[in-house]
A and B are shown apart, each in its own frame.
Chain A
Amino acid sequence: MTDESLTCPDVLEKIPLYVGDDLEDLDRADVGLHLSDCASCRRELEEARKARAAFVGHLDRSLEGPSSPSLWPAVRQGLLEEGLLSEPRSVRPSPGPRRLLPLAAAAVLLVALGGVWDWPWQAEDQPGIVDSSALPAVTVAEDLGPVRDPFRASPLLRESSGLRRVGWSDTRLLDAAPGASSEWRLVPEAEVRPALQVNQLAGYR
């Protein structure tokens, strides 16, 4: 014992924290002072350092290699299995023009087909003037241009596109706001006529 404030048992008790630099500043200074003059305690410190080095050296600090799979797919699968996520993604990014291109292309194709064949339901199902106030409002996000009612032309498209029909008219296919279904907008007669003219140009009768 060389320091008046600390005895050897005091220092030995503090060595496990001293060795990892986990003592408060004042304690650390006192222990350091004692160690500078006490060979027995220094030997104990050396043993503590060796043991700590063995522990620290054993720790696996490696990161996973670049080829190792992320945890995410397994986490997502676990969440799906517990019903905490739904398939597909619970929140979809807002549909941009590129995402809607296939749908627009299908719609254009249907317009073209409409010009080649007369659909049997055209005559009796031609739109009248619909009271749009009685139907749900549609939040318009994007105008895809003039098309015919794809629901009539292709039940398959109706199933696969997820579109929801709230009425019908020869008008413009409108993509609703993100998160909502796309819908047909019902328009007054004045607006239908220009649309019909467009469709006639595409071969619609």
Chain B
Amino acid sequence: MMDFKELDPVLHSQLRLAIMSVLISVKEAEFTFLKEKTNATAGNLSVQINKLKDAEYIEVIKQFKENYPQTICKITPKGITAFEEYVKSIQSYLNTGK
């Protein structure tokens, strides 16, 4: 098992990494879309989204559209940098292990 001490602890979690991977591929996504893609429960997803928001990796916009609440998530520039760094760290580790 590799040593993950240097990896970003905010991103090194299955669900948070899954959320960030979806958001890196789109401009913005609604909560229901993220729920469908990650197969997570609404409660767990909500908690992890808040953690990413607290780390300023994503922006969460809550609004009403046609009387329905809508939660939109969007990756921030800080989130993009963190994600890229995370991928680089893992890739360099895997390359060193070869």
A joins B in a complex: no
Q: A residues within 8 Å of B by Cβ?
A: none
